Amino acid sequence: MPHWKLILSYDGTRFHGWQVQPGLATIQGILAQTLHHLTGETVLPQGSGRTDAGVHALAQVTSFSLEAGIPPENLQRALNRALPASIRILSAEIVPETFHARHSATGKTYEYRIFQRWFGPTETRVPQLPAETTERICPPFLAPYVWDCRWNLDPKPMQEAADLLVGTHDFTSFAAVDPDFTQRQKMEFPNTTKTLKISTIIHKNDQLIYTVSGSGFLHHMVRNIVGTLAEVGRKALIPQDIQRILEARDRSAAGPTAPAGGLFLQSVEYPQK
Amino acid sequence: MPHWKLILSYDGTRFHGWQVQPGLATIQGILAQTLHHLTGETVLPQGSGRTDAGVHALAQVTSFSLEAGIPPENLQRALNRALPASIRILSAEIVPETFHARHSATGKTYEYRIFQRWFGPTETRVPQLPAETTERICPPFLAPYVWDCRWNLDPKPMQEAADLLVGTHDFTSFAAVDPDFTQRQKMEFPNTTKTLKISTIIHKNDQLIYTVSGSGFLHHMVRNIVGTLAEVGRKALIPQDIQRILEARDRSAAGPTAPAGGLFLQSVEYPQK
């Protein structure tokens, strides 16, 4: 029974997240329906993890088994024909049965995009911009894919704060406290200690782009980190507060949750074959 | 009574076009509601022209009068706070009462974006691309803003065909024949003769971008031109067929209507002050 690994990209704007939910459009649900429509088989594709409503994926990974023997390029093409344009299969391959999109993953990388309304005096990293401080308007075509942040964020202290997150820490302060999820989380993530390898902010045109790569992520962890880094960027917190926030092991110690639309699952890492 | 000119940009994906329609989300309707909400006044902002459902605007122009005296930057900021992120006011200014977004316009420029799935041997204009012919996948984030065209289009004959449209012609063959609209069209466009100044295709990364500028446009005219140019690009027509299509003065002589999502109203021209 062929076992499949698909890499897919999706625009999460109009979906209620990855996970199948009765009566709601979800990526997992639509993918399962489409596979059923194409093959007659009932499968629930496993994702590398859930993405919340409004969160996007540049390269989510999913795995499942099908009875049918289909050449990979044919399955990819048939899925891309049948799926909405907001979900695209970037690759399809047959892999050993031991592969599981979530259990086999050794790490994940996310990207978070913040639209910068301000050309400020802090804009030292982009010397070609005009000197005067003017408000930029977030183009309507960009709005679903960024946080249109109303504060003038200084990327320098944000990077100092981001640096303090690298390494192995208990990230409880950055995890959602949604009671429903907590129960599930306790089963799936036996501990709240995670290791971040990359935590970097770059300034690219009109955006601040935060890239974070690590062994695993708690629910809302990236968005809570970004919300906290923004507090640092607008000088409501200082970089050294990160230490205190991590030690508090309490969600209320960190900043607010940044909006879903700015978040992209960029890649999922697996052991080299 | 101050008379206003606003320039606005919108993502048309989720709107039923510009024109107000009972019970449907339209740009004109939402703008009128928001102006009412902010000022208590009932106005119907006049657009430079309608855009259809799914068509976008980089810079649509609208005009209306308000009793209230509001500094332009305040009206702009208040509208941008109250409007959905998919509609942005790019500028607001007080203009002479004689200004009318539609009647004063002397020309319009549209852009149409075609996603190119194919890296073909015809791709001579982009020498840095790989030589092999491979199918590209339209990113989900781009899908609402392009025509994800399944044909391998050769831009060279398309440009030859596009050149034949420049100048003054009767564009009846490229006008929608929707009977409802035709009646309205006959009143608003007493003749079907229009003058195109620019009709150019450029190849930019993974897209063919058609820019067309002219004195005026009939309903669906740009999309019908693009659908016809695509027939030339895929070698179902030759450039010289344009002459025959124009002379036919019959919609059925031209190609199909290209999808709405690829079309952007780029600018509206007015006489120099």
The CATH code of the domain that includes B223 is 3.30.70.660
- Taking the Cβ of residue B73 and every Cβ of chain A, the question of whether any pair is shorter than 8 Å is answered with no
Residues A73 and A122 in one domain: no
**d(Cα B164, Cα B150) in Å, to the nearest integer?**
25
pLDDT of residue A117: 86
Q: For residues A28 and A129, state if they share a domain.
A: no
Contact list, B137 vs chain A (CB under 8 Å): 80, 88-90
Q: Which chain B residues have a beta carbon less than 8 Å from that of A88? A: 137-140
Amino acid at A74: N
Residues in chain A predicted with pLDDT less than 70, given as ranges, are 119-134, 178-190, 273
Question: Would residue A65 count as lying in a domain?
Answer: yes
Q: What is the pLDDT of residues B18-52, one digit of tens each?
A: 999 999 999 999 999 999 999 999 999 999 999 99
Q: Verify whether the Cβ–Cβ distance A138 to B88 is below 8 Å.
A: yes
pLDDT of residue A17: 97
pLDDT of A185 reads 55
Q: Is residue A99 part of a domain?
A: no
Task: Give the whole-number percent of chain B exceeding pLDDT 90.
Answer: 83
Residues B84 and B177 in one domain: no
Interface test with B, best of A86, A88, A115 (most B CBs within 10 A): A88
CA–CA distances in Å: residue A242 to residues A76, A83, A247, B183? 44, 43, 9, 66
Put simply, the chain B residues between 75 and 94 with a CB less than 8 A from any chain A CB are 80, 85-90
Residues B112, B127: Cα–Cα separation, whole Å: 23
Contact flag A139-B85 (C-beta cutoff 8 Å)? no
| Domain shared by A83 and A128, yes or no | no
Band of residue B126 on the pLDDT scale cut at 50, 70, 90: very low
Instruction: List, for residues A79-106, the tens digit of each pLDDT value.
Output: 999 999 999 999 999 999 999 999 999 9
CB atoms B9 and A138 under 8 Å: no
Q: Cα separation of A267 and A111, whole Å? A: 9
Domain that holds residue B134: 107-269
CA-nearest residue of chain B to A56? B141
A113 assigned to some structural domain: yes
Is residue A250 annotated as part of the catalytic site, yes or no? no
- Do A171 and A141 share a structural domain? yes
pLDDT at residue number A112: 98
B1 touches chain A (CB under 8 A): no
Q: Which 3 state secondary structure label does DSSP give B164?
A: coil
Does any CB of chain B come closer than 8 Å to the CB of residue A138? yes
CATH of the domain at A38: 3.30.70.580
In terms of domains, do B146 and B187 share one?
yes
How many CB atoms are located within 10 Å of the residue B157 CB?
Answer: 19
